[in-house]
Amino acid sequence: MKISDILTEDVIATRLPGRTKDEVLENMIALASRSPNMTDKAKVRASILERERIMSTGVGRGVAVPHSKCDGVSDTVTAFAVTAEPIDFQSLDNSPVQLIFLLVGRENSVGAHLKLLSRISRLMSSDTFRDKLIAAATPKDVIELFRKEEEQFFDN
């Protein structure tokens, strides 16, 4: 499963508003709710916020990957955003976050969920790729960046 295949322009924001972690998470959930695979926004919100209470999903290097599994989706739901300004996400490295990739899978899709998290982590480890995403002007540009980066690092 390729990220560039599951991200669509309607679940991508290049200047996501929000000044706090809570505001940005709410805006990410709203963005993800544009996916036809989201069947229960309240369940998704509860699962994302519960996961975040356990431990921050700010993984470092300006990246956060809020994720969960719940039955509020019929299939994998994703959303990606570049925040309008860096925000404090209580990241592991204490650096502010500007790139957020939200991922919600079904309870029974553990394997696919872990593979996507691994792929996201690998892609986001590149300083150059992160810089390109921050500079992206449109959702279409973001998808194209993911497509090109995946071609470089992963077998199709």
Query: Catalytic residues, which ones?
Result: 67
Judged on CB neighbours under 10 Å (0-12, 13-18, 19+), 109 is middle
The encoded tokens of residue 84 equal 């309008």
Distance CA 80, CA 101 (A): 5
Neighbours of 86 (CB within 10 A): 13
Q: Is the Cβ–Cβ distance between 46 and 82 less than 8 Å?
A: no
What is the Cα–Cα distance from 126 to 150, expressed in whole angstroms?
12
In sequence order, what DSSP letters do the residues of 89-108 get, joined into one string?
---TT---EEEEEEEEE-TT
Burial class (CB in 10 A: 0-12, 13-18, 19+), 42: exposed
